[in-house]
Amino acid sequence: MQTTGSDRPAGPGRVRIGLMLAGGGGMTVPDMAGIAARAESAGFHGVYVAEAWRSGFVPLAAMAARTERIALGPYVLNAHARTPLIAGMSAVDLDEVSGGRLVLGVGSGNRVTNESYQGVPVERPLRKMREYVELLRLVTRARRGRRLDYEGEIHRMSGWTCQVDPLRPSIPIYLAATSPRMTRLAADVADGVALGAVQSAAFVAGIAAACRQAAGREDFDVMMASLVAVDEDPERARDAARAAVVNLYAGKPHPHYDSLLRRQGHERVAEGVDRFVRAGDLDAARRAVTDEVVEQLVIAGTPKECLARIAQYGGSVDELLFVNVGGMRYEAGSNTSSARRALLDSFEPLLDLGRLAAAGGARDAEGA
């Protein structure tokens, strides 16, 4: 049976390598399952799906059927989209289908997704997520015949009796966090924290240390997604990275990424990108992304340069999830077979990079 999360050590200074499927471009569920199989062959530890363009569980079930050992999980489920009971039962089912490989990421989502897309108000997110994770853990650990009752300020359950025995005693739960208060909550109630992109190695090191201290244990797991642009032409890679940063503003508003840029001292970049995107000038927005942002907050460059950047996260990040900048295709556009094939082919350089990193290339690059 595959071990997941902190059960599988990366080794001293090593970072587990994952792959996050974060955008559309006409990619089908069978396409996603095929990428998962390729990632498994390349030595990736896990494959994860953002519940922003596909549902959080169905594609993972397809991936489970095509793979044998990699961890699988949503990165992350939107807690405003389903109750803890439905999320918990779905998690138990998927863990069984995958043979115990589920890593369950959950988060509160952002106001655009919740209020504009779903018509669901966001109220007291810290209290909601504390209760959500507590109740989710109760549901996923419940044995057949156990009755659960829960009385929280936001979530309640009364009289539910579990009808199945879960495959594992416990499913690892990771809480998405972009603010200091949500990060502290993750350390308090979850098995790990799920961090987003555009964060420097130094910035994340501080978050990781604070999490492990607050959690009171060294095995508290830190996962992080990172935009990755790898190309033998380093300038082409960096141009792709700039476009990906802009896409965080242009594809769908992500206020937390804007906040992360500002908290790391890149206020002028955040203000410039936001202003130009609102004006419809994406070329100017890309020019507003400085070399410093690309070099510190994105993994971009030649394979050797990318391996060196990955190594910088060693010791603080337990698993680094590659986000393919060529796969972030939220906009409407051509959906021809050739465009879809180009999208699928764009994952190959990331799979090659992951193969090198999983074999120890990142650690070797750091010592070079």
pLDDT of residue 128: 95
Q: For residue 6, is pLDDT > 60? A: no
Question: What 3-state DSSP class applies to 60?
Answer: helix
Give the ranges where 300-360 is alpha helix by DSSP (H): 303-312, 337-345, 348-358
pLDDT of residue 120: 73
Residues in the chain: 368
Q: Report the C-alpha gap between 325 and 229 in whole angstroms.
A: 6
Rounded average pLDDT over 30-39: 97
pLDDT of residue 3: 46
Least confident range of 73-77, 81-85, 304-308, 338-342: 338-342
pLDDT of residue 338: 79
Whether residue 52 contacts residue 113, with contact meaning beta carbons closer than 8 Å, is answered with: yes
Q: Residue 6 has what DSSP assignment? A: G
CA angle 65, 228, 353 (to 5 degrees): 65
Q: For residue 31, is pLDDT > 90? A: yes
Residue listed under structure tokens 């604070």: 210
**Alpha-carbon torsion angle 327, 332, 335, 340, nearest 10:** 0
pLDDT of residue 8: 44
Q: For residue 152, is pLDDT > 50? A: yes
Rounded average pLDDT over 28-54: 95
Question: What 3-state DSSP class applies to 4?
Answer: coil
Rounded average pLDDT over 119-142: 92
Q: Report the C-alpha gap between 302 and 223 in whole angstroms.
A: 24
Cα–Cα nearest to 16, from 272, 320, 353, 293: 320
Question: What 3-state DSSP class applies to 262?
Answer: helix
Q: For residue 332, is pLDDT > 70? A: no
Whether residue 191 contacts residue 174, with contact meaning beta carbons closer than 8 Å, is answered with: yes
Q: Report the C-alpha gap between 274 and 270 in whole angstroms.
A: 6
Q: For residue 367, is pLDDT > 70? A: no
pLDDT of residue 363: 58
Whether residue 75 contacts residue 105, with contact meaning beta carbons closer than 8 Å, is answered with: yes
Amino acid identity, residue 178?
Answer: T
> How far apart, in Å, are the Cα atoms of 239 and each of 65, 174, 235, 292, 344?
37, 32, 6, 13, 20
Q: Using CB atoms within 10 Å of the CB of residue 117, give its burial: 0 to 12 exposed, 13 to 18 middle, 19+ buried.
A: middle
Rounded average pLDDT over 288-302: 97
Cα–Cα nearest to 25, from 240, 334, 246: 334
Kind of pairing between the strands at 46-49 and 319-324? unpaired
Q: For residue 7, is pLDDT > 70? A: no
Question: What 3-state DSSP class applies to 200?
Answer: coil
227-261 pLDDT per residue, tens: 999 999 999 999 999 999 998 888 666 788 899 99
Kind of pairing between the strands at 319-324 and 299-301? unpaired
187-205 pLDDT per residue, tens: 999 999 999 999 999 999 9
Q: Residue 116 has what DSSP assignment? A: I
Amino acid identity, residue 214?
Answer: A
Q: Report the C-alpha gap between 106 and 285 in whole angstroms.
A: 31
Rounded average pLDDT over 107-125: 76
CA angle 301, 306, 312 (to 5 degrees): 135
Rounded average pLDDT over 312-341: 80
Cα–Cα nearest to 122, from 135, 134, 131, 112: 112
Mean pLDDT for the chain?
90
